[in-house]
Structure 1
């Protein structure tokens, strides 16, 4: 019984693998010694993507049917699929996740449909894809973010659509400037004919670069048509007078910025060129000799592109950008490059940022210990004045007199009162002068011993 059940399961799986959808033809092809399964469905009665296509299918064609949409994960079971052709149907929409699990797919054809847009992000589910055909659709724009998913594409057919301009990002991918390409440059075949291109310098430069010797891009049809504006009659690109592209020029707001530690700084640069250049910020070094000891050894790897910045284009041909640095530290110091780029070239400006300040802690100074004076302590908020400074004569006398003790200083007023009345022969004016000087000597008793002694000797001499 168990063996019969196992045989039934195996038979069912084999039928599922090798069954062929209705209105389709399934054949086996050969590539050397390998057998390849080919499935072709081209009946007008097919309204949707068949769900029972054999899992070992390598090549699938769905042509001239009434299929109008490609749903999510429509080919999930076809992990071995290498070629997918959905040509000349009525497809108006393709889900971004339609091509999940097609990791072996190398060629995708969607020619002759009604697509007004294409989910470029869906290309990341097909890492081996090299050929993409979108000929004869209704595509009116090619978004800049498509460049993120086209690096591996070597054949791109955009002919017979409604495209008017090419984004500069795609031109950088197709025609990399010196120093931008990594490794060997891939040769690409582009189909751009039969589109109403606007007569600008970009489409003109594409044609001139494609015809140059050793160009990485080959244009299928050199006879491109362009018009001055939408709605005007088209003319051959070679007959139109086109504006010339201008390499960008960059002007920074300052070439050297010095700012204190912990402050906020805004770096700005302005660029002009045609087409309007894009700006990027690159940090090339991190510190100067002054603050190398403040930076940890495990600092960031430089140079690196900075992502948090703002840029705007107030008019065609002009763009400005700022980068904000808040709470400066020593690791923010260094060189910043503002790089402007368009299809005509690259220019850059250098801004040096220096951070000044000191993060070391300063210890408080110790108060100096004063030696105690042998003289009498001063009273609070009392200091010697100019009137109490001894004269030169008093200083000369003090050199021959030993210093008085504290008891002697305290007795100075009594001595003065006894000495002054003794001089009876002093005349009036002299007596008044002696009295004044005795008053001064009395006030100076709270001062230092030197001042008190000088006042005493002066009164005695008079």
Structure 2
């Protein structure tokens, strides 16, 4: 029974893989090296994305159906899918996670639907996507963050929509500055025609740059129509005289900044221009001082474009940006440039940052510990050196006591014997001292008596 169950599961899986969805046609195409499964569903009775499309499908076409929405993970089982066409349906919404697991997808077409917005962040699930066609929808705006998900797109068709302006971030993507392009310039094909563009310098500069020699952008149709304001009749862009173009100007908050080591600082610059300029920060040089040769040699390669900064646009034509440096170190010192760019030109301002206290540091010699001199003993005193206490009897007694040779101590002697001998020595010493004092006093008293007797004899003789 267990084997029969396994066989049944395998058969069901094989049927699911090789079966064709209802109202769809499945076929194989030859790519030269292998046969590729193609699935086409174009019946008007289809109102939802089929869920039983064979897993080995390489190209899926859902065309001219009543599909109105693309749900989450609608194509999750189609990991080998390379071409997805959802053209001329009634799609009004696409879930941001609709394209999960489409790692091999190369081409996505959504022409002829009713889309008013597109989930640009969903392009992250299709890292190899190169062709994106949104022709003939109802898109009225192109958000600035869309540029973050379009670096690999080489064919982008936005024609026949309701677009009026292009964000500056999109123009930076299509016309990168020298040094910002990681590798060789990638050529792109853009479809921008049949949109009610506003006549401004942004769309005009895009047109002129696309016509320049070696331009990275090629327009499908160069006859773009624009109008002075929404609702007005349009005219060819080449016939419009644009006067609102203004090259950006940059004003830094400070041109020289000195801050102590370990502090936190913010560098800021403001830019004005039309179209609203975008700002970038570049560190062009390290601190070049006589005492910082080692730091300059070990610094990273410059100039370097900085990624961690903020920028905001409070109104049209104005943009500000700040860069925050926390815990300043020696390598942060140097020259920073705030660069503003729009379709009319490029401007920049420089800010010099110096970290206070940057000097060459020598090794400080260790301070020798000053030892307190030991008390000098009597044997190191000079012969003529004397103190106030050397003439006192106590000192003399000590000196006399020190001249007494120490008694010979036998290991077999007891503590009581040693004590008795010590008392005997002390008694002898005290007796000697008393006799010496007595003799001294006697000699002193006898001298005056002798003098008086001599005086009496001398008077008698006279």
TM beyond 0.5? yes
The aligned residue for residue 125 of structure 2 is 125
Q: Match of 2:107?
A: 107
**Unpaired segments ≥5 residues, structure 1:** 368-462
Change (3 A) 1:21 1:353: same
| 3-state SS of paired residue (2:36) | strand
Tell me the residue number matched to 1:198.
Answer: 198
Query: Take 1:247 and 1:280, find their aligned partners in 2: how far apart are those partners?
Result: 16
For residue 11 of structure 1, give the secondary structure of its aligned residue in structure 2: helix
Q: CA, structure 1 residues 215+95, in 2 after alignment: closer, same or farther (shift >3 Å)?
A: same
Call closer, same or farther: CA 1:15–1:168 in 2, change over 3 Å. same
Q: CA distance change for structure 1 residues 4 and 123 in 2, over 3 Å: closer, same or farther?
A: same
Structure-2-length-normalised TM-score: 0.71
Aligned-partner Cα distance in 2 for 1:363–1:2 = 83
Q: Deviations over 1:54-106 (max 9, x none)?
A: 11111111111111110111001111111111111111111111111111111
**Shift in CA distance, 307/10, structure 1 to aligned 2, threshold 3 Å:** closer
Q: For 2:253 and 2:341, how far apart are their aligned partners in 1?
A: 18
Asked if the contact 1:62/1:87 (under 8 Å) is kept, the reply is yes
The corresponding residue for 2:267 is 267
- Cα separation, 1, equivalents of 2:333 and 2:301: 14
1:265 shift after superposition: 4.2
Report deviation, 1:135: 0.7
1:13 corresponds to: 13
Counterpart contact for 1:330–1:355, Cα < 8 Å: yes
Task: Tell which structure's C-alpha radius of gyration is larger.
Answer: 2
Once residues 223 and 358 of structure 1 are traced to their aligned partners in structure 2, the CA distance between those partners, rounded to angstroms, is 60
SS where residue 10 of structure 1 aligns? helix
1:241 equivalent to 2:244? Answer no
Pairwise mapping of residues 133-212 of structure 1 onto structure 2 (< 5 A)? 133-212=133-212
Quickly say closer, same or farther: Cα 1:10–1:98, change in 2 above 3 A: same
User: Given the superposition, is the C-alpha separation of residues 294 and 207 from structure 1 closer, same or farther in structure 2, using an over 3 Å criterion?
Assistant: closer
**Change over 3 Å in CA distance of 1:183–1:327 after alignment to 2:** closer
Assess if the C-alpha contact under 8 Å between 1:172 and 1:343 holds in 2: no
How many Å separate the matches in 2 of 1:290 and 1:271? 34
Aligned to 1:113, the other structure's residue is in SS state: coil
- Kept in 2: contact 1:177–1:345 (CA 8 A): no
Query: 1: distance between equivalents of 2:91 and 2:124?
Result: 21
**How far has the Cα of 1:352 moved from its partner?**
1.3
Q: Cα distance, 1:194 vs. partner?
A: 1.0
Determine if contact 2:201/2:343 at 8 Å carries over to the other structure.
Answer: no
Change (3 A) 1:310 1:56: closer
* d(CA) in 1 for partners of 2:121, 2:291: 45
In the alignment, structure 2 segments of 5+ residues that lack a partner are 371-462
User: What SS does the corresponding residue of 1:206 show, helix, strand or coil?
Assistant: helix
What TM-score do you get using the length of structure 1 for normalisation?
A: 0.71
Q: 1:115 to 1:69 in 2, by over 3 A?
A: same
Shift of 1:191: 1.0
**8 Å CA contact retained: 1:291, 1:330:** no
Task: Check whether the contact 1:294–1:330 (CA below 8 A) recurs between aligned residues.
Answer: no
Distance 1:4 1:258, change over 3 A: closer
CA contact (8 A) 1:30 1:36 kept: yes
User: Which residue of the partner structure matches residue 251 of structure 1?
Assistant: 251
What is the DSSP-based 3-state SS (H/G/I as helix, E as strand, rest coil) of the residue aligned with 1:319? strand
User: Which residue number corresponds to residue 25 of structure 2?
Assistant: 25
Secondary structure of the 2:335 match is strand
State the alpha-carbon separation in 1 of the partners of residues 4 and 319 from structure 2: 75
Q: CA RMSD in A?
A: 3.0
Structure 1 residue 10, shift from structure 2 partner: 2.8
Shift of the 291–46 alpha-carbon distance from structure 1 to 2, 3 Å rule, reads farther
Matches of 1:3 and 1:326, distance apart in 2: 67
Corresponding position: 1:93 with 2:90 = no
> Is 1:355 the counterpart of 2:355 in the alignment?
yes
Could you tell me how far apart the structure 1 residues matched to 2:252 and 2:119 are?
A: 39
**Is the contact made by 1:288 and 1:354 (CA closer than 8 Å) also made in structure 2?**
no
Partner SS for 1:60: strand
In structure 2, do the counterparts of structure 1 residues 323 and 89 end up closer, same or farther at CA, with 3 Å as the change threshold? same
* Structure 1 counterpart SS, 2:122: helix
Query: Is 2:66 the counterpart of 1:66?
Result: yes
- Taking the TM superposition and a 5 Å limit, the aligned residue runs for 1:48-87 are 48-87=48-87
Q: Is the alpha carbon distance of 1:185 and 1:70 closer, same or farther for their aligned partners in structure 2, counting shifts above 3 Å?
A: same
Q: How far off is 1:310 after superposition?
A: 4.4
Question: SS where residue 40 of structure 2 aligns?
Answer: strand
- Following superposition, the deviation at residue 301 of structure 1 comes to 6.9
Q: Matches of 2:265 and 2:77 in 1, distance apart?
A: 55
Task: Decide whether aligned partners of structure 1 residues 241 and 288 sit closer, same or farther in structure 2, where only a CA change above 3 A counts.
Answer: closer
